[in-house]
Chains A and B, each alone.
Chain A
Amino acid sequence: MPPRTRSAKAASSSPSTARPGAPGLDLAALLTDPGTRIVVCCGAGGVGKTTTAAALGLWAAEHGRRVVVLTIDPARRLAQSLGLTELDNTPRPVAGGGGGTGGSDGSLDAMMLDMKRTFDEVVEQHATPEKAAQILANPFYQAVSSSFAGTQEYMAMEKLGQLRAEAGRSGRWDLIVVDTPPSRSALDFLDAPKRLGSFLDGRFIRLLSAPAKAGGRAGFKVFSVGVNVVTSTLSRVLGGQLLQDVQTFVAALDTMFGGFRERADQTYALLKAPETAFVVVAAPERDALREASFFAGRLDEEGMPLAGLVVNRIQRVAAPSLTAARALAAAEQLADAETRSTTAATTQGLLRLHAALAETADRQERLAARFTAGHPGIPVVEVPASAQDIHDLAGLREVAAALTTPTPT
């Protein structure tokens, strides 16, 4: 299947592109398209995913969309700027973030994911009150719901599903922007939900819950020796008590069997839907771009709609006509000059700084070009490095302005 690039149509109507071979990513067109209902921001750690998600959400709200931004682990000051002072797992309006221009009715809500509470809610929703109480009190459940490395990914996707359902039901939102968890790898949030879902629904957990029954069933007959090996080895290694907790947990969970995998499958389908767009965020560095490259490949494989790549914090020079080499040579000449003006030292510094910035810009450009060469069809937009860190709505608006302006040649 060829990669589905949502903004291909918009991009072709926009004459300015990032560089030869890479169409410009037109996020303004993507965000104002009423057909876009979900935007997923993903990428390696430390590239500015959360900031990008928040900036896209703010821009869309100020252009008439009713937006909810789901953040996973925002930096403290960014969270404060969105009014996320308490982690209560509920979307709250962002003060100063709503109210579209030109009489439109945009609005911005934001929330921070509480994975344990989200998990608890799933249990409460799908089990009888009695069973739910049993599950919530189980030590193994408590450990899985608060510390398992994939729970955050699973619950982020669960929350996305819930928000989408509520948006469909109540019409409170028409656009969900979601940030992805800071995982071991950017791909984890695609894999972890399936892993947890298939574990909770799988053969192994049924085996634990009722080893005798499973062993007696026709399909398991061949493995009856295996069953004993498994349970005895596990109990030797993990300790009998853990196994017992798991068994109690699984028994209590019995009413929910089927539900987990089904929900994981539903979320998967949602991610593949034409209303969804993935935005891959990268820093102009080798490792982050490599991760972005893996991600683009994976989305393609899964048939998931990739809108394009955001190259964040790119170095720009304000005087591009002067090359790095010429600037350095001029600085040397000034240093060697016999008569020195009062500003000579400063001018030398300016020239050396310019040379350093221009070299950085060149190197980043080469790295970005390498990405484009590997993925010629993927639209790209570049966001210039900011002198200050972003932690208020004004800063987010600046980032949003850069994100929604196709990169000039």
Chain B
Amino acid sequence: MPEAPDLSKVRLHVVTGKGGTGKTTVAAALALALTRQGKRVLLAEVEDRQGISQTFDVPPLGHTETRILHDRSGGQLWAISVDAKDSLREYLQKFYKVGKAMTVLDRFGAVDFATTIAPGVRDVLLIGKVYEAAGRRSGKGPAAPTYDAVVLDAPPTGRVVRFLNVNAEVADVAKVGPIRSQADSITRMLRSHTTAVHVVTLLEEMPVQETVDALAELRRTDLPLGAIVVNQLRDPLLTDKALSSVRRSRNARLANGVAADLATVGVKVTDGLVAGLLADAGHHADRIALEREQDAILAEEGRLTVRLPLLAEGTEGGGITVLAQALTEQGMV
């Protein structure tokens, strides 16, 4: 019986996955699904890849929160590409009122030091900005949060735990001090029930292995797990019976039957055509068998598992909407 995490209370959705599994697409679809529920949503990326602007086909994003979509439900989708230097400037201004010192700091290479070299500090700055946006309150009454939900397109599985586990990272170098206390507050939020870390995977060996490893690592660091999102699933085009018959190496009777069927609908039948169709189906059947093995491995994790179809045309032309709908229908939001 899979645990059903109560994702309705979640305000910060962290989306990770192995490179190439489509985590940016899934993060975008999740943000869109929330927006369509009438929510005010912030979608954030932290690796300056411009994945969000490309997915939604809007001009490149910067460190300024920008509204990229207004839904009929009243929902709004905002987006940001979080920049470490700008976060540092804001941080210095907010806590020390020394935003102007940035110019001097920059000239001495101290900004580079803090944003790229000092271990952990970059991550604290990036996630600190997301933390600030998630907790920000403004507008209608003092208690109303600025955003109903924040979706973070996080670093890939190989780096995500280190990224989220800012506390441990910073503890190595700063046992006390303001960076440390900032890291402590971030960690409190990340480990609370208002955060969920979702892992995107394909039904292939390497991504599934990384997913299993990442889930174990997330559990060890007390980070709250969300859903497993299986991306790019192909429609089942062949029945199980057909799959097993095409996997048998030489099946003359099937080949003859297929040739006869094709002839009845006017397809010009050659030996190469039938053999080709059966060969591709054989590879497809091997792939399906492999996918089922991988599916079984994921099932052992006992998490809510959401399945998204392979979009033949990619995310262009409304593909994101299809995925957003699938996420809603399957109870992820």
Which residues of A are at the interface with B, using a C-beta cutoff of 8 A? 44-47, 73, 75-77, 139-140, 142-144, 147-150, 182, 184-185, 195-196, 199, 202-205, 207, 223, 226-227, 229-230, 233-234, 236-242, 245, 283, 285-288, 290, 317-322, 326, 330, 333-334, 337, 341-347, 349-354, 356-357, 359-360, 363, 387-389, 391
Contacts and interface: CB of A to CB of B under 8 A. Distances in A.
A353 B284 contact: yes
A350 B101 contact: no
Contacts of B245: 346
A44 B173 contact: no
Contacts of B286: 387-388
18 contacts: A44-B20, A45-B20, A46-B20, A46-B21, A184-B155, A226-B108, A227-B108, A233-B98, A233-B110, A234-B113, A236-B178, A241-B175, A241-B177, A242-B177, A245-B173, A317-B280, A343-B261, A388-B290
Interface in B22-68: 24, 47-49, 51, 54
Contacts of B51: 287
Nearest to B279: A318
Contacts of B145: none
Contacts, number: 240
B234 interface: yes
B113 A199 contact: yes
Contact of A234 (B110, B204, B205, B261): B110
Q: Is the interface of A mostly helix, strand, loop or mixed?
A: helix
A237 B276 contact: no
Contact of B112 (A75, A195, A354): A195
Nearest to B238: A349
A230 B173 contact: no
Nearest to B241: A346
B178 A233 contact: no
A345 B236 CA distance: 13
A202 B109 contact: yes
Nearest to B21: A46
Nearest to A391: B205
A229 B98 CA distance: 10
B158 A73 contact: yes
Nearest to B169: A147
Contacts of B121: 238
B85 to A, nearest CB: 14
A202 to B, nearest CB: 5
Contact of A318 (B49, B116, B173, B277): B277
B283 interface: yes
A387 B21 CA distance: 17
10 tightest Cβ-Cβ pairs between the two chains A and B:
A45-B19, A46-B20, A239-B177, A319-B276, A343-B257, A204-B109, A318-B276, A46-B19, A347-B261, A349-B238
